[in-house]
Chains A and B, each alone.
Chain A
């Protein structure tokens, strides 16, 4: 935060505090008030320095609650202690404030409908804004629970020339960085890992975890709750030790206080528990560097540096996390790392164009959702503005009713300041009431929001109502009351008493100019509703066009599940392959199953990139070796997933470990690496299998087929070049089972599970999902945006409709006499009806124009969330326009009918 921003926020916090300090009796404030607010200011400053902006918000929120609570308690304690003051003596400002409060409460209670509606509108506006803010606060603002978390960075490889934004690093590059940089005080490696625990009395489970270098926890700055972290020597050789997450320890081992030193079975081998981590979010290797919540079952084991796959130059499977030296900026660290990366390319140890990215840890975790959440917060803010408009309109209507009263009071000598204060007190009371209701609504709403949130939204466990949210709500309530009161106050107090008394009397027919203020507010509201509708419309269209993207595979009728065969029982490739073959036969025999396949990943799942060599092509630049996504799959994979074979053949059951090595590439691979020429018969070298299954593993594969492209990274990203090899020629132990079946897939899932456990009762079966669910997960964030924005837009429409209705009803009731005379003189009912409806349409039209202009300007903030939808989408524009017209006409009809039924005698009678 910039120094000026800090100063501004701090000043605002202290000004609010001084306001709340008025809860203390006057004598107390005179004696100690200044010191109290000084101490609060210093506390704020310290919180800001220690825990940043959100720390300050939390501290201030608690401070406000404290000062109001203590002030009121002090007031109670000292009541009756001092001399009684006469009712007519000079009143202290605080007593006047309490007088105002009493009068306001009485006035509000006398008008229950007005009070109820105003409270409801405020609660809706403040509640929805607070609910979204609680998400923004939890995900974006709260600091990470690690000391000096701002110094944590994550390092990635990048190769923009090949369209690879960021991918994992290889261990040798990490060691080079560790040797030749000085910007980092510590750095660590983490690779993803999963492990299965056998079921003794509990069902077998699969646990996510990470293989890490010894200083992983030192980089994060976390001390274990019990036991120790890893030692450097444990990164050399097979050390069977493990550190557990708090939830793992508490959930699976019942919080055993004697856990340290105990041996537990993981993947069929016994490993010794050496540490338990405290209950907090701690990253694991995962698919990049994931941050599961504090209640995830996780483990960490030391990474064995002496393994071949770790020291392989092209194996980009490592996440790198580092802590920047305290006096070095991330920018400086980035410069140093860039220089090292250039050196690696120069020495031929990395392909041309490959660089290393340094991203802050926070940016890595929440960077992708920041824009999204801020757009939603802005939308909620617009809704709050609309609520302000409605309340302002209500207050205006009340103000008009009270003009006479106010005029009498000011004629009797009440100063303008007193009048303003009275109205202000009323509004603040309403806002605080609305704020409290809104807070309740937000507490409930943020719970509902969490249910609705896409499951991959980071840091969900942090979402909730805390001091920062409290501060936000209070500040919002205060701001709302100021905004809502602006126009009514100016209007009420800026007039002479004489005019008010005159107007309050009889005989005047108000013209259109008289409620210009109301109309202006309504036009503003329609403009805001237009912006929200427009945004919701664009996001909806974007979701629609995402739905039309061909993912390249079959969505319906496919069930997938994750299997992981532990090394202890499936160490030999023969054991692995025979398990797959047996399971395939059993599952294929189930009723309704038409085909079964295995693959390291299902089609909508990211997997690793690997270097390859095209043996029949002239060598490119020696540094320019090609890379592609690598996917071992069984025979039947392409037909099960409905991926078309465009050329050549698919894998067959005859493609075994010892038979001729074959490969099927995708169309993108052909376009990228074979310039679109037919690749059949070409030989491709891929050596990773040798590191896992030894010398006899195949390394040179012949391309026998070309498959259609699949969107591996979600629907928004284009296809990437990929090659498939038969699972029999790369017998990987962690696979996805894919079953194509008809009928109810959920009951099929039960049958499949039973077949797996019939073969191996200790094998965990996880991530059982239909491909349809996987596909829905890929658009969950987009759907969340649309649902939320649609709810906002709908609420905005209701508020706008209420605004139009209110203004027209008021106008019609004020013009009763004029309308009655018109009709008595022969104006047809239709023309009176048309006049009022036209009035509604005019307001709608101006609001639409104003709104659409602002929406065009604001549209660019939405652009990154949109998929293949232009900002100026004609369909959306037409839709918004017709919805608004319908709402304007609809909310104008009722007052219009009332106008058309005006009877001259009835209209003139009250006069």
Chain B
């Protein structure tokens, strides 16, 4: 989290961000599917395959802030829906750079998975 962000205008390599923390990757994946507000991301994570993954509000917004600072996501106009207290909620969208980072991470994980399959660690699948 303490990674300093480069000065504006410096071209950045998406690979510098790898490996991504699992929850950051999950948030990117969820947002790649469409814009969502914070609680929407929590809900999507909760019903995510493999029994769901509980992301608590504190951890979520800390990641969101970092991802915004790093340019992986951006805030779009406030959600027309209102929260329980009547306040407007921010909606988040993945940036093209964020998409690139997610893509690189997916590729990395795909390679890992292929290696696992090779070693017969994935029952029910044929060795590649």
CA distance A38 to B38 in the complex (A): 9
Any B CB within 8 A of the CB of A905: no
Inside 8 A of B85's CB, which chain A residues have their CB? 34, 38
CA distance A416 to B106 in the complex (A): 58
Binds B, one of A64-72, A163-171, A274-282: A64-72
Any A CB within 8 A of the CB of B89: yes
Please judge, given known A-B contacts A43-B42, A77-B1, whether A35 and B56 are in contact too, CB under 8 Å.
no
Least CB distance from A193 to B in Å reads 34
Inside 8 A of A68's CB, which chain B residues have their CB? 58
User: Are B57 and A43 in contact (CB-based, < 8 A)?
Assistant: yes
User: Are B65 and A34 in contact (CB-based, < 8 A)?
Assistant: no
Residues 45-82 of B, flagged 1 when their CB comes within 8 A of A and 0 if not, give: 00000000010111111101100000000000000000
User: Are A38 and B1 in contact (CB-based, < 8 A)?
Assistant: no
A57-83 residues at the B interface, CB under 8 angstroms: 62-63, 66-71, 73-74, 77
User: Are A35 and B62 in contact (CB-based, < 8 A)?
Assistant: no
Chain A contact-residue range equals: 20 to 34
Least CB distance from B3 to A in Å reads 10
Any A CB within 8 A of the CB of B97: no
User: Are A67 and B39 in contact (CB-based, < 8 A)?
Assistant: no
Inside 8 A of B38's CB, which chain A residues have their CB? 35-36, 38-39
Least CB distance from A76 to B in Å reads 8
User: Are A35 and B90 in contact (CB-based, < 8 A)?
Assistant: yes
Any A CB within 8 A of the CB of B84: yes
What residue in chain B is nearest A28 (Cβ atoms)?
Answer: B65
Any B CB within 8 A of the CB of A41: yes
Any B CB within 8 A of the CB of A232: no
User: Are A67 and B1 in contact (CB-based, < 8 A)?
Assistant: no
Least CB distance from A33 to B in Å reads 9
User: Are B39 and A38 in contact (CB-based, < 8 A)?
Assistant: yes
Inside 8 A of B42's CB, which chain A residues have their CB? 39, 42-43
User: Are A42 and B84 in contact (CB-based, < 8 A)?
Assistant: yes
Contact of A38 among B59, B64, B83 (CB under 8 A): B83
Any B CB within 8 A of the CB of A40: yes
CA distance A299 to B65 in the complex (A): 53
Inside 8 A of A32's CB, which chain B residues have their CB? 61, 64-65
Inside 8 A of B43's CB, which chain A residues have their CB? 46
Any B CB within 8 A of the CB of A813: no
Any A CB within 8 A of the CB of B118: no
CA distance A39 to B57 in the complex (A): 6
User: Are B61 and A42 in contact (CB-based, < 8 A)?
Assistant: no
Inside 8 A of A70's CB, which chain B residues have their CB? 56, 58-59, 62
User: Are B87 and A34 in contact (CB-based, < 8 A)?
Assistant: yes
User: Are A37 and B57 in contact (CB-based, < 8 A)?
Assistant: yes
User: Are A36 and B61 in contact (CB-based, < 8 A)?
Assistant: yes
Contact of B2 among A41, A42, A43, A77 (CB under 8 A): A77
Inside 8 A of A42's CB, which chain B residues have their CB? 39, 42, 83-84
Least CB distance from B67 to A in Å reads 12
Inside 8 A of B57's CB, which chain A residues have their CB? 36-37, 39-40, 43, 63, 66-67
What residue in chain B is nearest A63 (Cβ atoms)?
Answer: B56
User: Are B65 and A31 in contact (CB-based, < 8 A)?
Assistant: yes
Contact of B58 among A31, A34, A69, A77 (CB under 8 A): A69
A418-456 residues at the B interface, CB under 8 angstroms: none
B68-119 residues at the A interface, CB under 8 angstroms: 83-85, 87, 89-90
Least CB distance from B35 to A in Å reads 15
Residues 19-37 of A, flagged 1 when their CB comes within 8 A of B and 0 if not, give: 0010010001001101111
User: Are A38 and B60 in contact (CB-based, < 8 A)?
Assistant: no
Inside 8 A of A46's CB, which chain B residues have their CB? 43
Please judge, given known A-B contacts A42-B39, A77-B1, whether A36 and B65 are in contact too, CB under 8 Å.
no
CA distance A28 to B61 in the complex (A): 9
Inside 8 A of A38's CB, which chain B residues have their CB? 38-39, 83-85, 87, 89
CA distance A693 to B28 in the complex (A): 72
What residue in chain A is nearest B66 (Cβ atoms)?
Answer: A77
What residue in chain A is nearest B43 (Cβ atoms)?
Answer: A46
Least CB distance from B5 to A in Å reads 11
CA distance A31 to B64 in the complex (A): 12
CA distance A249 to B27 in the complex (A): 40
CA distance A69 to B62 in the complex (A): 11
CA distance A66 to B56 in the complex (A): 7
CA distance A68 to B39 in the complex (A): 19
Inside 8 A of B90's CB, which chain A residues have their CB? 35
User: Are A39 and B87 in contact (CB-based, < 8 A)?
Assistant: no
Inside 8 A of A24's CB, which chain B residues have their CB? 58
Least CB distance from B65 to A in Å reads 6
Inside 8 A of A34's CB, which chain B residues have their CB? 85, 87
Contact of A39 among B2, B39, B54, B62 (CB under 8 A): B39
Inside 8 A of B64's CB, which chain A residues have their CB? 32
CA distance A206 to B46 in the complex (A): 43
Inside 8 A of A40's CB, which chain B residues have their CB? 56-58
27 intermolecular pairs with C-beta atoms under 8 Å apart: A21-B58, A28-B65, A31-B65, A35-B38, A35-B83, A36-B60, A36-B61, A37-B57, A38-B84, A38-B85, A38-B89, A39-B38, A39-B42, A39-B61, A40-B56, A40-B58, A42-B39, A42-B42, A42-B83, A42-B84, A43-B39, A45-B84, A46-B43, A62-B54, A63-B57, A68-B58, A70-B58
Enumerate chain A interface residues (CB-CB to B < 8 A). 21, 24, 28, 31-32, 34-43, 45-46, 62-63, 66-71, 73-74, 77
Known A36-B61, A74-B1; 7 more pairs at CB < 8 Å? A28-B62, A34-B85, A42-B39, A67-B58, A68-B58, A73-B1, A77-B2
Closest 8 CB pairs of A and B: A67-B58, A66-B56, A70-B58, A39-B57, A40-B57, A38-B83, A39-B39, A66-B58
